[in-house]
Each structure stands twice: as structure tokens, then as C-alpha cells.
């Protein structure tokens, strides 16, 4: 087959992981040579996460498939392509299903979607990866909630109207006044955009990086009640 090699690392992985660009590329070349595939190009996404398919290298690789210049994509591991079940489902439907006819070949996962078994393995691995991420997220959320109930610092920035003192949240007097003003303006019928403009015009203090009010900041305050 004529395949596009695709390699990706996020900035963190470049520094700390064995999944370097060079490592991925060498294994992809070796696999293609072993099985007689023609590598027509190797496309690199350096410093991009797999949370979205909107990466320049990923879009270039898919363009090869759309144009018919390549029969499939060759990767080292499935998570180099995407970490999203939804995105993987979209790729399978559009490219890697039996009907779509393009191949996804993963060296380490031993996936070849030109076979029914390969497509089954792909679906199973994608579902398991999504489940693992959701379990980790649940555990992290539960741990932070438990720490909050004990009055311990969760980490990160304190909510608007509060600040951290040691391991406890205490009222930030200036910001607390701003929060009350925001709620009052909203009750008067002002839109969030108008409230943001008014806060910045009046120079209402915000003890945060940038010290400027934004739509998302005001919306978050109003949502929290």
C-alpha cells in the first residue's frame, strides 16, 4: 500500500517521553520496509496535543487520503492519531471503515483496518482509552472535592471574590464587591457583554493576571450564583 507516515508529540512528551519524533519515524520506516509498504511522505505534528484533529500535520495527512494519493496512514501508536473516541469514530466512518476503504496501520497496537479483526481491535482500544481517561478524571475530581470539604487547598486559582491564605479560601473584599456588582447589573437586565464593558470602563479591580474582565470570567461568576 501507499501510506502516509504520521508522527506527533506534545511539547511535554518531547522532553520526557521515549515517543520522540525520531523514534516514531524510525519505527514507521522499519515497519513499512518489513511489510513492503511504500511511504510516500512522513508528516510531523510537533508540539500538538491529540485533543483535536485540527492540527496542521493531521489535516495534511487526511488531505492525502481525500485526494486518493495515499491508501492509508501509518502510525506508531493509536494515541499519536487521537485520544478522543468521538474523533476516532469520525475518522473510522470517513476513512477507515470497510466501506470507506482507507487503511489505518498502527505498529505498536498491531492494528490494520484492512481486516475485520483489525477494525474490531481499533474499536476496542479506542473505547478502553476513553474509559481510562474518564476514570482518571473522576478520581481527580473526587479527590479535589474531598480536599475542598476539609478546607484544604485544591490548587489553581481561587474563585473570583476569594483568595488563598495558607490552605484555606478567604474572602477577597475588593473582588467580592465586584461579584455583587456583577449580580446587580445582571438583575437590572444588562447582558454579559454589557457588564464586561461596564466593569472595564469603571476600572473595577480584578486581582488576576491581566487584570481585565472578560466574558468568560463574568459568565463563570453568574453561573456559580
Would you list the DSSP string of the chain?
-EEEEEEEE-HHHHHH-S--HHHHHHHHHHHHHHHT-EEEEEEEEES--SS-S--HHHHHHHHHHHHTS-SEEEESSGGGT-S-HHHHHHHIIIIISTTT--EEEETTTTEETTSHHHHHHHHHHHHHHHHHHHHHHHHHHHHHHHHHHTT---SSPPPTTEEEETTEEEE-HHHHHHHHHHHHHHHTT--HHHHHHHHHHHT----STT----HHHHHHHHHH-
Name the active-site residue from 10, 20, 49, 108. 10
Catalytic-residue membership of 10: yes
Active site residues: 10
Amino acid at each position: 500500500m501507499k501510506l502516509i507516515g504520521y508522527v506527533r508529540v506534545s511539547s511535554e512528551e518531547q522532553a520526557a517521553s521515549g515517543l520522540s519524533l525520531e523514534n516514531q519515524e524510525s519505527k514507521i520506516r522499519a515497519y513499512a520496509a518489513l511489510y513492503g509498504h511504500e511511504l510516500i511522505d512522513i508528516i510531523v505534528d510537533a508540539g500538538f496535543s491529540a485533543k483535536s484533529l485540527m492540527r496542521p500535520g493531521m489535516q495534511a495527512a487526511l488531505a492525502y487520503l481525500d485526494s486518493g494519493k495515499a491508501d492509508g496512514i501509518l502510525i506508531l501508536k493509536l494515541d499519536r492519531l487521537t485520544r478522543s473516541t468521538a474523533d476516532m469514530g469520525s475518522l473510522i466512518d470517513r476513512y477507515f471503515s470497510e466501506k470507506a476503504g482507507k487503511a489505518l496501520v498502527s505498529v505498536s497496537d498491531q492494528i490494520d483496518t484492512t481486516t475485520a479483526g483489525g477494525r474490531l481491535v481499533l474499536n476496542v482500544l479506542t473505547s478502553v482509552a476513553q474509559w481510562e481517561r474518564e476514570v482518571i478524571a473522576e478520581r481527580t475530581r473526587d479527590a479535589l472535592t474531598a480536599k475542598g470539604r476539609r478546607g484544604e487547598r485544591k490548587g489553581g486559582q481561587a474563585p473570583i471574590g476569594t483568595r488563598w491564605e495558607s490552605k484555606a479560601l478567604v474572602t477577597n473584599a475588593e473582588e467580592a464587591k465586584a461579584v455583587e456588582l456583577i449580580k446587580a447589573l445582571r438583575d437590572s437586565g444588562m447582558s454579559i457583554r454589557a457588564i464586561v464593558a461596564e466593569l472595564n470602563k469603571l476600572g473595577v479591580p480584578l486581582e488576576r493576571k491581566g487584570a481585565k474582565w472578560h466574558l468568560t470570567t463574568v459568565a463563570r461568576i453568574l453561573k456559580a450564583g
